[in-house]
């Protein structure tokens, strides 16, 4: 792509955001790859080491709690070492200047919040929160880490001896009602959307950008390679999110 064409894309995307009254963002695993968290499905990701049905499903929680917790220790270690990258900060800047009304994320890594984004809908939960699936007692990350350091896994509830689990959506589980409700509200009001770091493979999250388009909203896509959103995109950057989003935010805030 020539510099002129690239500059035109940035100008078009910035104009969409400046002219919108209710822009939102959809993010997936790709936005956290520059932070050192590989897409679970990609080579080197956690699904290369684990079978997701055996360690990250509703069935696994019942049949293989120790395997689930071994997987969670690996995942937790990966996420603990990560830091927000320029893409996370770019979205936070747009929100702070009222050019972005909220983020719907499929990620469970808490990086949007650590970058100071305020209105984040966690479609698949958050790996920083834990609770007993029997009595619903909440457990802090620190308390869980204490058990891990003492090699006490699986972690069981001190109140009822139920299994403690992360507040995330495992395979075979429903999206939390609160996340569905809030994301539906954002989508219904949206007149523009940024799709960043998600190819659109995972349902039902992949349906929401198309709803924005059906409501005549404008779509800005930032993804490497082909995706399921090619038929709805108005402005597309085939570049890394951590390069595009900070530049786009800077242009919008001039």
Q: Please list the active-site residues.
A: 124
Task: Fill in the DSSP letter of residue 163.
Answer: B
Could you tell me how many helices (H) and strands (E) the chain has, helices first? 10, 9
Strand partners, 164: 132
**Contact by Cβ (8 Å): 93, 112:** no
Alpha-carbon separation of residue 50 from 46, 79, 199 (angstroms): 6, 17, 22
**Contact by Cβ (8 Å): 129, 176:** no
Task: Fill in the DSSP letter of residue 195.
Answer: E
Residues whose CB falls within 8 Å of the CB of residue 88, separated by 6 or more in sequence, listed in order = 31, 35, 111, 112, 114, 115, 117
Tokens of residue 141, six digits: 């990350």
């Amino acid at each position: 792509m020539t510099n002129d064409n690239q500059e035109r894309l940035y100008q078009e995307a910035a104009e969409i955001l400046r002219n919108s009254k209710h822009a939102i963002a959809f993010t997936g695993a790709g936005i956290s790859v520059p932070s050192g968290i590989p897409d679970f499905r990609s080579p080197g990701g956690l699904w290369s080491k684990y079978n997701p049905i055996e360690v990250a499903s509703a069935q696994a929680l019942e049949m293989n709690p120790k395997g689930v917790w071994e997987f969670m220790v690996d995942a937790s270690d990966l996420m603990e070492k990560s830091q927000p990258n320029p893409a996370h900060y770019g979205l936070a800047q747009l929100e702070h200047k009222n050019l972005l009304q909220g983020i719907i994320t499929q990620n469970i890594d808490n990086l949007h919040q650590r970058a100071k984004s305020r209105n984040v809908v966690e479609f698949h939960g958050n790996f920083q929160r834990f609770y007993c699936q029997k009595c619903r007692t909440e457990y802090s990350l620190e308390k869980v880490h204490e058990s891990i350091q003492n090699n006490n896994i699986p972690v069981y509830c001190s109140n009822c001896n139920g299994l403690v689990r992360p507040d995330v959506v495992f395979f075979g589980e429903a999206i939390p009602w609160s996340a569905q409700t809030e994301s539906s509200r954002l989508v219904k009001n949206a007149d523009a959307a940024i799709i960043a770091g998600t190819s659109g493979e995972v349902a039902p999250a992949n349906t929401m950008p198309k709803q924005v388009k059906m409501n005549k909203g404008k779509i800005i896509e930032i993804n490497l390679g082909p995706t399921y959103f090619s038929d709805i995109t108005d402005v597309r950057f085939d570049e890394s999110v951590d390069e595009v989003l900070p530049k786009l935010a800077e242009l919008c805030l001039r």
